[in-house]
Amino acid sequence: MNPTRTILSSALLPVCLVLLAAAPSADAIKQLSEDYFMKRPSQSLHGGMSLDDARRAQEDFVARLTPKLGPRVGFKVGLTSKAVQESVGASTPVRGVLLRDMLVPDGSTVSAKFGARPIWEPDLIVVVKDVGINNAKTPLEVARHLSEIVAFIELPDRIVAESEKIDGSLITAINTSARLGVMGQRVKIESTPEFITALAKMRVTATDQAGAELVNAKGDALLGHPLNPVLWLIKDLAVTGETLKVGDLISLGSFARPEPPRPGQTVTVRYDGLPGGSIKVSVKFSE
């Protein structure tokens, strides 16, 4: 082998890697936002970027969404299942933000083509009661600073083209696929060991309009406990100098694998086993 050629190849390799992992340009973010509103798969962003670049891309992307979708009302935690993390080569959860007009009421009818690559997930939202939550270290401490649990069907959009290789940074850059979400019934949170145990043991089921079971999961499907995603979020926000605020909504992640919506389908998600009583939420998918 030619030694000179070997040296040149080795020297060029890091440059190639840098080019592959380049930060998204302003034009790329502009194109992503245009694709988002046109509901078409985007090829403007690619995997392999650094987490810092992904966070900056998300910030710029959300800034372009805000004029049409309203201000931030909370956060979304994604990749809260080990199986889902491994499927995209990620080792930790990711976070995005929820904007006001992304959220629709219980029983809403939503087009089955609500996004470029739409899916639905059985999720759950918690509401921040006070800023003391930012010092919480355990699920019980988190519960002391939350007011309610809200039944929630998230309607994400895997907006990147199917040909793109997905990783945690790309998911971060596209704001963790946030598009829509249906908010249902609520129950007050009790900051007791019994309530914390009940949360982990609660049964989460999804059924269709004929009563056929689509999902059957337990509360501990989310990082071992439904409030563990909140603990992760608190730490992750601290890295970027951010904190949770009173009234923030936190989407905790999917209890099961996401599914594509079908026209004419009605999905109802129930949460059974909570001391305050069962809660549920429904959405109907139109043509």
Query: For position 132, which CATH number holds?
Result: 3.90.850.10
pLDDT interval class at 85 (50, 70, 90): confident
Q: Per-residue pLDDT tens for 207-251?
A: 999 999 999 999 999 999 999 999 999 999 999 999 999 999 999
Cβ atoms of 244 and 133 within 8 Å: the answer is yes
CA distance 76 to 94: 8
**Who's near 96: CB < 8 A, 6+ residues apart?**
58, 62, 75, 76, 78, 172, 175, 176, 177, 178
Residue 98 has pLDDT above 50, yes or no: yes
User: What's the whole-number mean pLDDT along residues 161-172?
Assistant: 92
> Which tokens in the block code for residue 66?
């805000």
The set of residues, in sequence order, having a beta carbon less than 8 Å from that of 97 and lying 6+ positions away, is 58, 62, 72, 74, 75, 76, 175, 178
pLDDT for the residue 150: 98
**For residue 8, pLDDT beyond 60:** no
Task: Give the range among 88-92, 168-172, 227-231 with minimum mean pLDDT.
Answer: 88-92
- What's the pLDDT band for 276 if we cut at 50, 70, 90? confident
Per-residue confidence at 14, pLDDT binned at 50, 70, 90?
Answer: very low
pLDDT of 259 > 50? The answer is: yes
Question: Given a cut of 60, is residue 4 above it in pLDDT?
Answer: no
Identify the bridge partners of residue 204 per DSSP, sorted by sequence position: 217, 271
Asked whether residue 7 carries a pLDDT value surpassing 70, the answer given is no
Residue 15 has pLDDT above 70, yes or no: no
In this structure, of 11-25, 159-173, 228-242, 247-261, the range with the lowest mean pLDDT score is: 11-25
Report the number of distinct structural domains present in the chain.
Answer: 1
Q: Is the pLDDT of residue 3 over 70?
A: no
At residue 11, the pLDDT reads 45
Q: Which residues contact 277 (CB under 8 A, 6 or more apart)?
A: 187
How big, in percent rounded to 5, are the helix, strand and coil portions of the chain? 35, 30, 35
State the pLDDT at residue 83: 65
Percent pLDDT > 70 in the chain is: 92
Does the pLDDT at position 5 exceed 50?
no
In tens, the pLDDT along 27-67 reads: 999 999 999 999 999 999 999 999 999 999 999 999 999 99
pTM > 0.85: yes or no: yes
- The residue range of the domain holding 91 is 3-286
Measured CA to CA, the distance from residue 168 to residue 11 in angstroms comes to 28
